[in-house]
Amino acid sequence: MNTTEFARALATRTDMTVAEATNVTKHFLDLLKEGVNKGERVAFLGFGTFSVAHRPARTGVNPQNPSQKVKIPARNVVKFTPGASLKDAAQGKKFTPLATAKKVEKKVVATAKKDVRKATATAKKAAKKASPKKAAAKGKKKGK
């Protein structure tokens, strides 16, 4: 997949035009390059981390003439460390697209909110039943 194909796929998955998706893709790559140029780590949780590593100068061997030694100058290189979900995708494990993941997340949050409401209601009922002082005080006031 090249940049153009990526932008088309992005446009298909979102409510963007191909031109907007191409623009977003170009800006994303520019921001990534800027971060690496500054020597920053650029990390995407689950996907991976881009960082800069320094390689010191060394002596190498000319592959066409193994007896000849070649000086290789020091330089900075981009290093990419893949994240867990990218490693899983490479192994052919099931991949959940972002749109599906958001739907699942909404269901989980909704279920959690229901559970919290039930627990709160149950706790309130239990608190009312467990407070005999209030019940006794109410009974004394009514008995006057």
Q: CA angle, 41 as apex, 16 and 90 as ends, to 5°?
A: 65
- 4-36 residue pLDDT tens: 999 999 999 888 999 999 999 999 999 999 999
- 31-73 residue pLDDT tens: 999 999 999 999 998 899 999 999 999 999 999 999 999 999 9
Domain range annotation of the chain: 96-144
Furthest-apart CA pair in the chain: how many Å? 112
d(CA 7, CA 27): 12
- 78-110 residue pLDDT tens: 999 999 888 988 898 877 666 555 555 566 666
What's the predicted TM-score (pTM) here?
A: 0.58
What mean pLDDT do residues 125-142 have? 62
